[in-house]
Amino acid sequence: MGTRFYKQTAYLLLLLALVFISALLSIAIGEVKISLFDIPEILRNKNGLEYGILTKIRFPRIILAFAAGGALSLTGAILQGIFRNPLVEPYTLGISGGAALGVAFVIVTGTQIALGAITLPLGGFAGALLSVILVYTLSFRKGNVNINRMLLIGVMVSFVSSAAMMFMMSLTTAENIHSIIFWIMGSLDEPNTSLIRITLIAAISGLLISLLYSRSLNALRIGEEKARYLGINTKTAVRSLFVLASILTGICVSVTGVIGFVGLIIPHIIRMLLGSDYRFLLIGSFLGGSLFLIICDIMARTIIEPHELPIGVITGMLGGLVFIIMLSKVKVGRKII
């Protein structure tokens, strides 16, 4: 038991170190190369080009990648624990579909032009929140929430939201269609520092709150009924964790757009390294998601330099490839939850 604890702690420290190293690489690599040794001098010269690149572009992107990647991976681990299903991720429950529909509505109606740029993330968050409320309400029967019913309703809400968004796109201009598609592909290029700060605070707060439910998540691995025999209030735990995951996903999607596969693939990798103890899995998933998104952001900025690829394209291609390789190596009958 003691050896396993030290091994898991060592893995977490290694992940933390890798996040720090990837952040340093993200600072140095780009169209304009910046030496890490020159950073103190650059920060003193506030009128220089490099100062603007660091403070206005690279630092905000690293912070947003750290927060959004960590939050999306964390919510994936939480939802997979709640539903006891390895294929559940933050976007399975219609959250991303609702956010995309909200953004499409804002763009098509011209609300963004009338009320300012902040309207776009607000529309995305409102759409995600409405989808969550709809999924939860329709899943609520006789004082209880049916987990399997919630999952099916979430998938259907996602399909309906996508269809409604396509309907609006068919009625609007080519310029609006381009804006909607660009948002859907995801981006870490967020100029509003207040939104980045909110995302970071929400991500770290979500991690701390989820750790309070690590015992409940460990008990839920053996089923709700058996968890109740262990003294776990499963109804409150599932409800609280679902709301927490939904809010985190809604905030991330409203700021960064749809960035897929982070919440699906990273918890699997971390589970292989650390096991299924949620005391370590939640922290590991957060750090792993941050590391993954920072690396993907570096690739998005450098593959076709000086142009930039949408980060959702990188996460989708890289995440899908890794997931296929992982599935091909998993032994038949092996549990991954």
Reported as a single tens digit per residue, the pLDDT across 154-169 is 888 888 988 998 898 8
Q: How confident is the model at residue 117 (pLDDT cuts 50, 70, 90)?
A: low
Backbone angles phi, psi at 30, to 5 degrees: 160, -175
Tell whether the model's pLDDT for residue 125 goes beyond 50. Answer: yes
Reduced to 3 states, what is the DSSP secondary structure of residue 330? coil
CB 13 within 8 A of CB 284: no
Nearest-angstrom CA–CA distance, 337 and 328: 17
Q: What is the pLDDT of residue 41?
A: 86
Domains of the chain are 2-329 (1.10.3470.10)
pLDDT bracket for residue 142 (50, 70, 90): low
Quick one: pLDDT at residue 333? 44
Longest C-alpha distance within the chain, in Å?
Answer: 65
Residue 263 has pLDDT above 80, yes or no: yes
Range of lowest pLDDT (25-34, 75-84, 143-152): 143-152
pTM of the model: 0.89
Average pLDDT over residues 128-139: 86
> Per DSSP, which regions of the chain are E strands?
140-141, 144-145
- pLDDT of res. 332: 45
Span 30-78, pLDDT tens digits: 888 888 888 888 888 888 888 888 888 899 999 999 999 999 999 999 9
Give mean pLDDT, residues 221-250.
82
Are 210 and 78 a contacting pair, CB within 8 Å?
A: yes
Give the model confidence (pLDDT) of 4-16 as tens digits: 888 899 999 999 9
DSSP string, 68-123: HHHHHHHHHHHHHHHHT-TT--TTTTTHHHHHHHHHHHHHHHTHHHHH-TTHHHHH
Alpha carbon distance 102, 38 (integer Å) = 43
228 versus 219: the higher-pLDDT residue is 219
Q: Which residue has tokens 């990798």?
A: 269
Cα 69 to chain center, whole Å? 5
pLDDT exceeds cutoff 90 at 139:
no
Looking at residue 21, its pLDDT comes to 95
**What is the C-alpha to C-alpha distance for residues 258 and 11, in angstroms, rounded to an integer?**
29
The helix/strand/coil state of 294 is helix
**What pLDDT is stored for residue 63 in this prediction?**
96
Q: Answer whether residue 19 shows pLDDT above 80.
A: yes
In this prediction, residues 220-248 reach a mean pLDDT of 82
Range with the poorest average pLDDT among 167-171, 246-250, 330-334: 330-334
Q: What percent of the chain has pLDDT over 70?
A: 94
What average pLDDT does the segment 221-245 reach? 81
Of 118 and 61, the one with more pLDDT: 61
79 pLDDT exceeds 70? yes
Question: According to the model, what pLDDT value does residue 329 have?
Answer: 65
* Average pLDDT score over residue span 259-278: 88
Read off the pLDDT band of 121 (50, 70, 90). Answer: confident
Residue 331 DSSP class: P
d(CA 129, CA 125): 6
Q: CA 262, CA 89: separation in Å to the nearest integer? A: 8
Q: Reply yes or no on whether the pLDDT at 210 is more than 60.
A: yes
- pLDDT, tens digit, for every residue of 302-312? 888 778 888 98
Task: Tell me which of 48-62, 64-78, 222-236, 238-252 is least confident.
Answer: 222-236
Residues 101, 168: Cα–Cα separation, whole Å: 9
Please report, to the nearest 10 degrees, the dihedral formed by the alpha carbons of residues 214, 216, 217, 221 taken in order: 140
- The rounded mean pLDDT for the chain is 85
